[in-house]
Amino acid sequence: MTPDNFSNLNKEFLENLDLSTGKIVATNTEAGKVIDNFYCYIATITSSEEAKQAKVGDNVKVRLSNNIEVGAETTNVIKEDDGDIILILRLTEQIEELINYRKITFDLIWWDAEGLKVPNKAIVKEGELNYVVRNRAGYLSKILVKVRKEGEKYSIIDSYTTEELRKLGFKDDEIINYKKISLYDEILINPDLSKIEE
């Protein structure tokens, strides 16, 4: 294997390498390690929606088993007949750690955003705005939230700043009374906004 023939890889070939995860290999007696000067390549098989949309040149983050996150560039995207995707990622960091192994476990991080993680079923769209319904001691409140990033099942939400609320057209008295969502708030799944008092 060389970086020039990655496009010929397929799922069957990778699975037939029969490599053990985390096993240190001291010599080049087994296939699987490709080092090109200051680059290291990782091949992975995935079926995620993000992988299906991936393009050569996309940047992602890889969280290694030592919990260090490093940037990676997608160099090859190979579509399998069963819908799986083989991604070849090129890394320029942590190479000294990675070259000891043929097979590793890692997480692909397609995007990151800070905020609160909530199920998509808890978010209700009203016009152009998004709301969740908070339950505090039996009292239900409709809370305006900003959706920072939406995934397949979950979204990352946050509260609006005063300046953002002004840009949305809220008046000062509405901004003063703006309720914010916070950590450990109990929210409803599939809420009915018509039954919530303003």
Q: Could you tell me the residue ranges of all domains in the chain?
A: 3-109, 116-195
**167-192 pLDDT tens trace:** 999 999 999 999 999 999 999 999 88
User: For 51-80, what is the mean pLDDT?
Assistant: 90
57 versus 11: the higher-pLDDT residue is: 57
User: For 14-33, what is the mean pLDDT?
Assistant: 57
User: For 145-162, what is the mean pLDDT?
Assistant: 92
Enumerate the β-bridge partners of residue 132: 143
Considering the entire predicted model, what is its pTM?
Answer: 0.56
- Whether 116-195 and 3-109 are alike in CATH topology: the answer is no
Contact 84, 11 (CB under 8 A): yes
CATH number of 3-109: 2.40.30
CATH number of 116-195: 2.40.420
Contact 60, 74 (CB under 8 A): yes
pLDDT of residue 2: 64
Enumerate the β-bridge partners of residue 73: 59, 90
Q: Quick one: what percent of the chain has pLDDT higher than 90?
A: 42
Enumerate the β-bridge partners of residue 145: 130
> How far apart are the C-alpha atoms of 5 and 147, rounded to whole Å?
42
> How far apart are the C-alpha atoms of 163 and 177, rounded to whole Å?
15
> What is the SS3 assignment for 14?
helix
pLDDT of residue 29: 47
Contact 85, 54 (CB under 8 A): yes
Cα radius of gyration (the chain)? 23
Contact 155, 118 (CB under 8 A): yes
